[in-house]
Structure 1
């Protein structure tokens, strides 16, 4: 009955049926013995592989791809010819047709990204974020991110695109981060507080990154079988949580080794820290069954390996191709052995925790 209720709730969220109809349909279907077939557990019992629970729902067919290409080309052309304020009007018109009426998933993602990029340009036009490093952390950064939750939240309320809610949540956390930084700076009475205490900056960033991970897990664990839009929202949140955790953790642990805060170019100085952090992220990804969580951290691992090889006497071609081989091998090992590795991890966890996670 729980699965049937979740399916009807999802139909209501997608406006396929009204809330009143959903409430009447549930007892009607239960009285007539309608149940949701549990095909995936049956496959698992038969010794077959569990189907992928992380299949992106925004990839439904080449029709969506074709429409998305048209959306991107048209918006790029409009962006180059029309004023800045003409772009959101086009995004809204296309969203009404492609998202609200036709419910095309991939075009919805592209339109959400276009809205996000337009918001970046709009906010940076009014509140330029570029400030000298010697200046204090001012109100510009807070004002810059303040518009994102409003615009993206309104878009989600109207069109219900999971990516828009995920970006809205990330922007809210970014807004909270700027407020925390300004609060700490104000309480210290030192305009250059974070230049003198970079560890505090890394700690605050790590707290916000953990908050993003906790939010992603909230949506993820609420739909362990991944049948509703909660799973889609969690997918995007995990894509943002992994690099946020990686950079904040590496910055915090590498400050004593001469690595500047969030300095990706010099991250090779803290390569052991990067490798250990990425390994921890891979373990978390295995536990929660999120390949996207693991994948988003591999780019930084490549940067670290690239830095290690670059410190030697190898030529440019050598350390580029060495980095590609190492990262590609890691991806292949994780990709081909994901399910066996995850079963081992789940068996090592207490049943109370394992039963709340996606089945292995």
Structure 2
């Protein structure tokens, strides 16, 4: 940028006249205003989610909430709450508004809300279709569910498959990252339904024994294998998207963020139960050396993986489980001797860890990951900032 003093010297030297000087200053002022109105991506910020686009985005989001809330109440007044037309109108309205808010203005928070409204309307539409298409019992209980075995898979496929198809079509049109999470959750639900149906058929055919009441906890623990497998698949897809966009400048990086948000609890919950021996029904843990060691190893593993892929979202559920259950048993003895409530010590421990990783994330990555991994792997992971 040429400063005003240089322009004055150019006028005195006869290079420019006063009119040309003023025109250049006006043009520079317009350029500065245009740059300030844009929303550049700050690559120095760690793990950007790019969820909010500014004050105007929040303002429009409030307007969307008011608009669709009023539309919902108005439609319920003239249509049946279970009417398929009501859900169809809301889905179509969210699409029309997204043509302006998302396609033209690229407002991030508003676009996310519109995508969720669209998916919610489609889900409601699919539920209404299933209620009309299939002969569902008025009272749903353990016995009435057995009568749905013949229709269980078509119902699940219609619900999850229809939602996935709608999310994919919406994503192709508008490129809203949160739809990656919607797709992953729907696919996980369909996989869990398939597992339940397979186990049900094995019990009915005699291939597997029906569990006794005291064996129910073991059966539920075994069922955690399915969410663990789904979590690993979703996590692998998220890592592939991260590797595709190491600098995190495209929509695929934002999709990876939402996939990490979905995969984290699917991974942490089964592994936590397996590591600590927690009872699924009662939630009770028998503290011991083995549980403490496995819990520490699990925490270390998640911290290293999160540092390697530069995703703090993977640590959030880990800290929640470790703080709510794991730390309680590890520091309960200290609390009993000092008289300090265990909950207070939990908050102190978790707060200290969060501040430590939040304030020094890149420094911790540089000190731990750089000497730990070979250069060939570091070149494929998100770059470690100096």
State TM-score, norm by structure 2: 0.67
Instruction: Tell me which stretches of 4 or more aligned residues in structure 1 moved more than 6 Å.
Output: 127-130, 133-137, 309-314
Q: Which residue of 2 aligns with 1:354?
A: 378
- Determine helix, strand or coil for the equivalent of 1:197: helix
The Cα shift of 1:210 comes to: 0.5
Could you say if the C-alpha distance between residues 243 and 267 of structure 1 is closer, same or farther in structure 2, counting changes exceeding 3 Å? farther
Counterparts of 1:275 and 1:108 in 2: how far apart (Å)? 40
Could you say if the C-alpha distance between residues 104 and 297 of structure 1 is closer, same or farther in structure 2, counting changes exceeding 3 Å? same
Q: Which residue of 2 aligns with 1:292?
A: 313
The Cα shift of 1:230 comes to: 1.3
The Cα shift of 1:258 comes to: 5.2
Counterparts of 1:87 and 1:202 in 2: how far apart (Å)? 36
Contact 2:156/2:190, CA 8 A, preserved across alignment: yes
The Cα shift of 1:349 comes to: 0.6
Counterpart check, 1:75 vs 2:73: no
- Determine helix, strand or coil for the equivalent of 1:101: coil
5+ residue gaps in structure 2? 1-42, 77-85
Contact 1:57/1:105, CA 8 A, preserved across alignment: yes
State TM-score, norm by structure 1: 0.72
Could you say if the C-alpha distance between residues 51 and 87 of structure 1 is closer, same or farther in structure 2, counting changes exceeding 3 Å? same
Mapping of residues 170-209 of structure 1, within 5 Å: 170-187=185-202, 189=205, 190=208, 192=210, 195=216, 197-209=219-231
Mapping of residues 1-360 of structure 1, within 5 Å: 51-83=44-76, 84-85=86-87, 86-123=89-126, 126=130, 132=142, 139=152, 142-143=156-157, 144-187=159-202, 189=205, 190=208, 192=210, 195=216, 197-254=219-276, 257=277, 259-260=279-280, 266=283, 272=292, 276-304=297-325, 308=329, 318-343=341-366, 344-360=368-384
- For 1:121-141, what per-residue CA distance to the aligned partner results, in whole angstroms no more than 9, with x for missing partners? 455564799754997795278
Counterparts of 1:77 and 1:269 in 2: how far apart (Å)? 52
Could you say if the C-alpha distance between residues 134 and 310 of structure 1 is closer, same or farther in structure 2, counting changes exceeding 3 Å? farther
Counterparts of 2:365 and 2:108 in 1: how far apart (Å)? 30
- For 1:200-243, what per-residue CA distance to the aligned partner results, in whole angstroms no more than 9, with x for missing partners? 31222211111111111111111111121111110110111111
Counterparts of 1:322 and 1:122 in 2: how far apart (Å)? 47
5+ residue gaps in structure 1? 1-49
**CA radius of gyration, larger in:** 2
